[in-house]
Structure 1
Amino acid sequence: MAALGGKLTRKLVENLGPGRHGDGAGLYLVVDPSGARRWIVRVTVKGQRNRKGGPLRTDFGLGGADVVTLNQARERALEYRRMAKSGLNPRFNAQREVPTFEELSRQVHIDRLPTWKNAKHGQQWLNTLRDYAFPKIGRMPVDSIDQPEVLMCLSPIWTEKHETAKRLAQRMKTVLDVARASGFRSGENPVTAVKEAGVLPKVKAKVAHLDAMPWRNVPAFYAELELRSAMAAKALQFTILTACRTSEILEARWEEFDTEARLWTIPAERMKGGVAHRVPLTDEMVRILDQMRPMASDYLFEGQRRHQPLSNMSMLMLLRRMGREQFTVHGFRSSFRDWAAESSGAPREVAEAALAHQVGSEVERAYARSDLLERRRALMARWSSFVIVEGEA
């Protein structure tokens, strides 16, 4: 059967940049930021409804563009559209070849996109497999993967990158579970078998200490930062003053700031706890904002690329260059918390609210609806004064 025509050409398939590119009739080429290319088809199954009662539309992968040609993708897409038009869900009725581990992994990633906390988290899920599994077993059919192949992926990083290895194992298990549920595999999941067999060495968990700079030393360090003009130095100053997390600082965008109301509102999707957080702005914070404004960037602290945020390693590397490698950026939150407890006399709930920590039971939080903004405003003003005045002394 001759394949249908469409908008894409072989040259476009090879050269199009990141994004979702339509060929027509529900067929798309998806190009990841990494450059990986895969086919997706969207069909509407006749007579079937989704959970909300609307037409059942479903997306699923046809394979990587380096394996499945444009014509093959069009032919498969046509086959699936015909099934859908006759009321058959292609997901359960298509005569499918056993997918490779990479193909199924990318399909699982697509299916779970709506469930990720944010796009970054979803991309991290796929990147772990891309970096440590795809090079070894990516092209293997999922029904041929067993314990030796699992060990091939996990063993090289099990002790040196143990946390990454544990995440990799969990994600490989998920893909192989889906393979079994889809009828591509049978028997026990080999990742489970490897764990239960105890063939990988036991790794003693290391307690992660986020070493914090003693709060009495922060003003002198802040004064050193003031002598530096690098973007990372300004970002670290703002981090110290606000006691916010690194990601909250680096991903800060100008539309989140209201300098007239002296308020920075971090949206819920950027907060660890999933709740919007208001940060009262002090005079010193506003001064740093004014220094950044002429950059006219989308982000408060712009990195090397225009309208892109500063690297998440930039502040840590600055600490190392300044001879403070024993401390972490996150540790400045602890420095603030220790100061609040030992020097400011601030109530615990106010100090914890400044760090966007949830305090008390769910019932207690339901009644404590206030975020204590004005009390936190006074606390942050005292913290700014301590950091600046003591540093100038």
Structure 2
Amino acid sequence: MLTDKQAKALKPGDKPAFDGKVTGLMLVPSKSGCKWILRFTSPVTGKRRDAGLGTYPETSIAEAREKALIMRKLVDSGEDPIDQRNRERESAAVVAAALTFEKAARKVHEELKPGWKNEKHAAQWISTLETYVFPKLGNRKLDAISPGDCADVLRTIWLAKAETARRTRQRMHAVMQWVWAHGHITANPVSVVDHLLPKQSSKAEHQPAMPWQQVPKFVATHLAEHKPSDSTRAALLLLILTATRSGEVRGAIWDEFDLVGRVWNIPAGRMKAKEPHRVPLSEKTLALIKLLKQH
């Protein structure tokens, strides 16, 4: 069996090195590098043929063997693997010719949707493309879309709506990566659009937050005194005391609270990370929950 040590030692002018595991698989040295070749007799024409399987080390020995074994099985079943490969390429070319950016994007959206837990995100994903990309690139053939075309789509929102532009770029990139992976194009034009657009501000755009130094005064002034029926103030106070998300507070039910053990057990189904979460209850938190439960 051919080893990496033997393969690395091959030089231009050396004889081809045959692999002992797959009949006809050999590594042929040349000035441009070592090329994998599978030599076989075509069951269709009866003539000897050489099928290229890539270069070494980009295509490893294990990968070359796997490709060669697939071709050997075709030969054994009466097929010519080179003819079969040519037919597949022609078929892919026909599909690519009929596939537009919008058709590809909707296909990618359908394939990704089962993996998204949030239906709102799934809707936003395709909506962003419908709003900013489809009007300009939706009907374009995939191999006719250039980096400049992608940059032109993003340019109008690149600085004015930086976060929206970044998400649109990510979704365009996902579509073209899928297209590239399926062999419809030879490169992803979205990968280089950053070189054609001005630099965005690196400052994160967060929701404004109250400085932590002001929180005690805010609680004392606005939340400490509230009627049991005032669920909004009670919910905000519970959120501050437990450092939980608003959705976890708004969806809380009594069965989640262990008042004896002083723990709030939030089930996995209500957590963003989909893992159960235990929140210890301080004296103030426990008093608040007991007051709410009384009413």
TM score, norm. by length of structure 2: 0.52
Provide the aligned C-alpha RMSD in A.
3.8
TM score, norm. by length of structure 1: 0.41
Q: Tell me the CA shift for residue 175 of structure 1.
A: 0.2
Give the corresponding residue for 2:151.
Answer: 151
Q: Tell me the CA shift for residue 121 of structure 1.
A: 4.4
Distance 2:138 2:216 in 1: 52
Change (3 A) 1:228 1:289: closer
**What SS does structure 2 have at the residue aligned with 1:112?**
helix
Give the corresponding residue for 1:249.
Answer: 249
Counterpart code for 1:170: Q
Residue 285, structure 1, aligned to residue 289, structure 2: yes
User: Which protein has the larger Cα radius of gyration, Structure 1 or Structure 2?
Assistant: 2
1:178-327 equivalence runs, <5 A: 178-184=178-184, 186-195=185-194, 198-207=195-204, 210-214=209-213, 215-223=215-223, 226=226, 232-250=232-250, 252=251, 254=253, 257-258=256-257, 263-268=263-268, 270-280=270-280, 282-288=286-292
Distance 1:280 1:220 in 2: 22
**What SS does structure 1 have at the residue aligned with 2:98?**
coil
Deviations 1:288-342 (A, max 9, x none): 4676xxxxxxxxxxxxxxxxxxxxxxxxxxxxxxxxxxxxxxxxxxxxxxxxxxx
**What SS does structure 2 have at the residue aligned with 1:265?**
strand
Change (3 A) 1:253 1:245: closer
Given that 1:267 and 1:277 are in contact with CA atoms closer than 8 Å, whether structure 2 keeps it comes out as yes
- Count of residue pairs brought into register by the alignment: 196
* 174-183 or 148-157, larger mean C-alpha shift: 148-157
Deviations 1:38-77 (A, max 9, x none): xxxxxxxxxxxxxxxxxxxxxxxxxxxxxxxxxxxxxxxx
Give the corresponding residue for 1:132.
Answer: 132
Q: Tell me the CA shift for residue 188 of structure 1.
A: 2.7
Q: Tell me the CA shift for residue 194 of structure 1.
A: 1.7
Give the corresponding residue for 2:177.
Answer: 177
Deviations 1:123-144 (A, max 9, x none): 4433433443234433444343
Change (3 A) 1:102 1:275: same
Distance 2:126 2:254 in 1: 30
Q: Which has the higher contact order (CA 8 A, sep 6+)?
A: 1
Change (3 A) 1:269 1:132: farther
Given that 1:266 and 1:277 are in contact with CA atoms closer than 8 Å, whether structure 2 keeps it comes out as yes
Q: Tell me the CA shift for residue 108 of structure 1.
A: 1.4
Distance 2:291 2:131 in 1: 42
Q: Which runs of 5+ in 2 are unaligned?
A: 1-90
Q: Tell me the CA shift for residue 237 of structure 1.
A: 2.9
Deviations 1:165-198 (A, max 9, x none): 22221211110111122233x2332211322xx2
Give the corresponding residue for 2:27.
Answer: none
Given that 2:258 and 2:265 are in contact with CA atoms closer than 8 Å, whether structure 1 keeps it comes out as no
Residue 100, structure 1, aligned to residue 100, structure 2: yes
Counterpart code for 2:287: D
Distance 1:279 1:171 in 2: 37
Q: Which runs of 5+ in 1 are unaligned?
A: 1-91, 292-393
1:288-367 equivalence runs, <5 A: 288=292
Distance 1:241 1:152 in 2: 48
**What SS does structure 2 have at the residue aligned with 1:187?**
coil
